[in-house]
A and B are shown apart, each in its own frame.
Chain A
Amino acid sequence: MDATFIQQFFNALQLGSLYALIALGYTMVYGVLLLINFAHGDIFMFGAFMGVLGSWVFGWGFVPTLILSMLATALLGVTVERVAYKPLRAASRLSAVITALAVGLLLENGMLALTGADPRKYPDDFFATQVYQIGSVSISTVKLLVIILAFALFVALFLFVRRTKWGMAMRAISYDKFAVPLMGVSQDRIISLTFAIGTGLGAAAGILWGVAYPASLDTYMGMLVGWKAFIAAVVGGIGDIRGAVIGGMILGFVEIFVPYWGQGIGVSSTWRDPVAFALLLIILVIRPTGIFGVARRQKV
């Protein structure tokens, strides 16, 4: 294994972690509401923008800004759910999905209209980068931060969902809406909590994305990334937390290694996206409900 391979491996791990963090937001909401929250990519963008607010306007460092962004974005997520999705819970699922699409458009274009199109980035001292040299492999602290923080959040979320009453209620609700009141927690609260956590994780991904890819901060940054993360969630088996992580990682690795191996055989790096999507499509055709998804067979 040569050095560039290892370096690419870490690049893929970083990108995959970020996709996974975003995919979690899709998957958690889908788990409790069976709703594809198409606005999630733009919520991710909002999180990144809250980072601009914290770092430049308040002059805060990384950690307080991260917390601010996660809290503010969670508030946005819960508000969106209350205002736009909740009234549609009884209506057809499609109405809610269309609404979600519209909310996403509203967020990205509203943000553009209200803040202008000037290019943004975080302050240079926002996260002081160091590069470690291990043999011929160089790894930046940013990469380590992204990977470690993302994994810490996965583990925390996993424990929360498996070990706490709230987490179990969250899982129960996707199987049976009526069982949850029996567990002594209200359905509305569970849904709000789900949105808060999902969008909070999206915000963390937003800030980390801005740190890792400084040139990408604009109001449309969540569009393509969001769709991709969503597809990753589906490939993993939407509704399943492990699935989101695996799906995100697969996507990250494909996107890094297609150009890496491709250049050897004369394939340009711009083939990255179509190849990634084609691969995900193939996975879905082979396993129509994703890697961890359970097929719900219809009874006759």
Chain B
Amino acid sequence: MALLEIDNLTHYFGGLRAVGDFNLHLEEGELVGLIGPNGAGKTTVFNLVTGAYKASEGSIRLNGAELVGKPPYVINGMGISRTFQTIRLWNSMTVLDNIKVAHHGRVKYNLLDMFLVLPRYRESEREIEAHAMELLRLFKLERHAHEPARNLPYGEQRRVEIVRAMASQPRLLLLDEPAAGMNPGEIGSLMEFIHWIRDEFKLTIWLIEHQMRLVMNICERIKVLDFGETIAEGTPAEIQNDRKVIEAYLGEEVEGV
């Protein structure tokens, strides 16, 4: 059984068929790309998988368990986490608090423990804080721990978002345009970074990206969407030579916004 199985996933916004008959099976440890012109429906697929929207039709299963209809926090707790196309940190909170809140699923105390600061509360808080700090250290962000998230430079904020996604110890990480707004140098290190995350945390990674250099270099498999429909699927080499893909991208003017 694959880690994630998506079958016949379809979603409508009113009359708009944003995603049509989407199928994908992700194996444990894979690094897969999802590309397509702006408005193709890529982010919508992520939103369906993470429970932000409820799929109109089709099925999404994680290790065989159905996800459609489950609320986002449950899906997150089951092991899927993500970043956003435009950064959605909790801006006025410190970086550390951003990471800590993403540990909500691991809170082991009840209100009474909390109001009375009982041992169970302190134990659980200590554990969460330690894990959050360890993540920040691993991602070399600890010196920003007590700064409000909004004070960080853009690139660092993107990294914090990834760390925050790691807080719930996901088995599948969804990255929505991680390279958006980065210069070529930064993209180079991002590629190493993504590889490192996968190996360090033994993760499966599925990413949306416009930067072809990144996708072609690191993804093992790529799926191409256009107007919600899958137009191609295969290895980077196959995709690069696919006529339909080239056509779809010729219509595209602005990249990576």
Give the B-binding residues of A (Cβ under 8 A).
Answer: 300
Alpha-carbon distance A300/B43, docked complex (angstroms): 8
Name B's A-contacting residues (CB within 8 A): 43, 47, 52-53, 84
Q: How far is the CB of A297 from chain B (nearest CB, A)?
A: 9
Give me 5 A-to-B residue pairs in the complex whose CB atoms sit less than 8 angstroms apart, sorted by A's number. Answer: A300-B43, A300-B47, A300-B52, A300-B53, A300-B84
Cα A300 to Cα B84 in complex, Å, equals 8
The B interface, classified by DSSP as helix, strand, loop or mixed, is loop
The residues of B that contact A300 with a CB separation of less than 8 Å are: 43, 47, 52-53, 84
Nearest residue, chain B, Cβ from A298: B52
**Roughly how many angstroms separate A79 CA and B188 CA in the complex, as a whole number?**
58
B51 CB to nearest chain A CB (Å): 10
Measured between alpha carbons, how far is A36 from B26 in the docked complex, in Å?
50
Closest to B47 in A: A300
> In the complex, how many angstroms separate the beta carbon of B180 from the nearest chain A beta carbon?
15
Nearest CB in chain B to that of A297: its residue: B13
Question: A300–B52 Cα gap in the complex (Å)?
Answer: 7
Question: What's the least CB distance linking B84 to chain A, in Å?
Answer: 7
The answer for the CA separation of A300 and B83 in the assembled complex, in Å, is 11
A209–B162 alpha-carbon span in the complex (Å): 61
**In whole Å, how far is B16's beta carbon from the nearest beta carbon of chain A?**
13
Distance in Å from the Cβ of A235 to the closest Cβ of chain B? Answer: 25
**Cα–Cα distance between A300 and B18 once the two chains are bound (Å):** 14
Bound-state CA distance A300–B47 (Å) is: 7
B84 CB contacts on chain A under 8 angstroms: 300
Q: How far is the CB of B239 from chain A (nearest CB, A)?
A: 27
**In the bound complex, what is the Cα–Cα distance between A246 and B84 (angstroms)?**
41
Contacts of B53 in A (CB 8 A): 300
Closest-CB distance, B82 to chain A (whole angstroms): 10
A294 to chain B minimum Cβ distance, whole angstroms, is 12
CB closest residue in chain A, given B46: A300
A300 and B87 alpha carbons, distance in the complex (Å)? 11
Q: Across the two chains, which residue of chain A brings its CB closest to B44? A: A300
- CB-nearest residue of chain A relative to B82? A300
How distant is A38 from chain B, measured CB to nearest CB, in Å? Answer: 27
- Taking the closest CB of chain B, its distance from the CB of A300, in whole angstroms, is 5
- List, in ascending order, chain A residues with CB within 8 A of B47's CB: 300
- Rounded to whole angstroms, the CA-CA distance of A300 and B53 in the bound complex is 9
Measured between alpha carbons, how far is A300 from B45 in the docked complex, in Å?
A: 11
CB distance from A183 to the nearest CB of B (A): 28
* Cβ–Cβ < 8 Å partners of B52 in chain A: 300
A203 to chain B, nearest CB (A): 42
- Shortest CB-to-CB span from A211 to chain B, Å, is 48
Q: Smallest CB–CB gap between B66 and chain A, Å?
A: 21
Assembled-state Cα–Cα distance A144/B53 (Å)? 52
Give 5 closest A-B pairs by Cβ, nearest first: A300-B52, A300-B47, A300-B43, A300-B84, A300-B53
Q: Which residue of A lies closest to B176 (CB)?
A: A300
Docked Cα-Cα span, A300 to B88, in Å, equals 9
